[in-house]
Chains A and B, each alone.
Chain A
């Protein structure tokens, strides 16, 4: 196991609601990246946090936002949920932004 944990494992929400997903990085890792994986697709990069600052963002709207805490754990917040937000949300941690990324087990979000 990688030591990266995510919570919750599953979540069901309805359109328009807001959701917060959490990720604890592996010990010694100060970088967390978030990915969205729709069914049958590869993971898509949402954004990355390095030492509590956003360090790059993919093509996701502003209603996807994040945070990294002093202990390097991280949150992903999604506002105004849409049906297409249904996906597996993965976080990955690394020692530095350019180093190998290790993934957590993911949070499966279903939007009804």
Chain B
């Protein structure tokens, strides 16, 4: 299994839709997880940190299932401005200061 694996994209959804992205990770000892957002040709920006079973911030909800080594990101009421690539990030197995990124899932929200 890859260290971090994400849903293949792209996801094309209408404004107002609810969309969910999935991510699996291989290191069962990981304690913290992150979702970063990356706009085209820009740097990744931290969207959410997940340390326990989940986290919610407005329209965004991240859920963690340690038994299945699975993280999800749910976006409710999608906006055009949510169009971006969403990167699932897990600390490295031997060096937790090293971040391991998934390849990202591209979201395109259309009017």
Chain A residues within 8 Å of B, Cβ to Cβ = 2, 31, 33, 35, 40-45, 48, 50, 55-56, 58, 88, 90, 92, 97-98, 100-106, 108
Residues in A with CB closer than 8 Å to B61 are: none
A33 touches B97 (CB 8 A): yes
Residues in A with CB closer than 8 Å to B103 are: 40-42
A102 touches B97 (CB 8 A): no
How close is B4's CB to chain A, nearest CB, in angstroms? 8
Residues in B with CB closer than 8 Å to A98 are: 96-97
A90 touches B43 (CB 8 A): yes
Residues in A with CB closer than 8 Å to B41 are: 88, 108
Residues in A with CB closer than 8 Å to B87 are: 42-43
Question: Closest residue of chain A to B103, judged by CB?
Answer: A42
A43 touches B98 (CB 8 A): no
List 18 A–B pairs whose Cβ atoms lie within 8 Å, in order of A's numbering: A33-B97, A33-B99, A40-B103, A42-B87, A42-B104, A43-B101, A45-B99, A56-B92, A58-B98, A90-B43, A90-B44, A98-B97, A100-B49, A101-B99, A103-B43, A103-B44, A105-B42, A106-B43
